[in-house]
């Protein structure tokens, strides 16, 4: 008789036992928020003075890691802004040919230390002279970067 009462009380306890999931859900959301806040966004600043051309067959670049951005301005923007050279880095700081080589070499070495391959990202204005783009590519090659991607829209902005 005592064993029947013991079995009955034990089975009732097992039926009533449930796990409270709310602390686990709270912890998951806290971890999610922590990783969102602690992570760094990899973004590239875009110069509003560079109007990139439309490339109907263009593809979006998958990653911004290792990207070395050089802007190439048109003659009209150079005159408007009072620039001496049509070249600038991602922060719109004016560069010379030698400055491009030094910048590319410095960025390439920094990327190699973290194990990232360097890629030259040329943001050329649609009215820029092709020779200026060639100069940027040649200067980057002297800095040790031979992989080049070009900026362009796959369709007109606003469509």
**DSSP type of residue 153:** B
Pairing of strands 67-72, 87-89: antiparallel
Look at the pTM and tell me if it is higher than 0.85: no
Question: Contact 49/73 with Cβ under 8 angstroms?
Answer: yes
Report whether CATH 3.30.420.270 matches the domain 67-150: yes
Q: Domain residues of the chain, as ranges?
A: 2-38, 67-150
User: Distance (Å, rounded) from C-alpha 103 to C-alpha 106?
Assistant: 5
Enter the tokens of residue 118. 């360097």
Q: How far apart are the first and last CA of the chain?
A: 82
Along the 159 residues of the chain, how does pLDDT read in single tens digits? Answer: 556 766 666 665 555 667 788 889 999 999 999 888 887 665 666 766 676 666 666 666 666 788 888 888 888 888 888 888 888 887 778 888 899 999 999 999 999 999 988 888 888 888 888 888 889 889 999 999 888 887 776 665 554
């Amino acid at each position: 008789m005592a064993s029947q009462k013991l079995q009955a009380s034990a089975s009732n306890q097992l039926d009533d036992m449930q796990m409270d999931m709310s602390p686990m859900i709270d912890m998951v959301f806290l971890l999610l928020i922590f990783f969102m806040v602690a992570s760094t966004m990899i973004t590239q600043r875009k110069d509003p003075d560079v109007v990139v051309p439309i490339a109907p067959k263009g593809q979006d670049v998958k990653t911004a890691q290792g990207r070395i951005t050089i802007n190439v301005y048109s003659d009209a923007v150079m005159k408007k802004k009072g620039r001496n050279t049509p070249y600038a880095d991602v922060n719109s700081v004016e560069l010379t040919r030698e400055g491009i080589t030094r910048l590319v070499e410095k960025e390439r070495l920094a990327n190699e230390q973290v194990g990232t391959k360097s890629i030259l990202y040329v943001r050329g204005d649609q009215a820029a002279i092709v020779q200026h783009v060639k100069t940027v590519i040649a200067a980057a090659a002297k800095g040790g970067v031979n992989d080049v991607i070009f900026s362009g829209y796959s369709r007109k902005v606003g469509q």
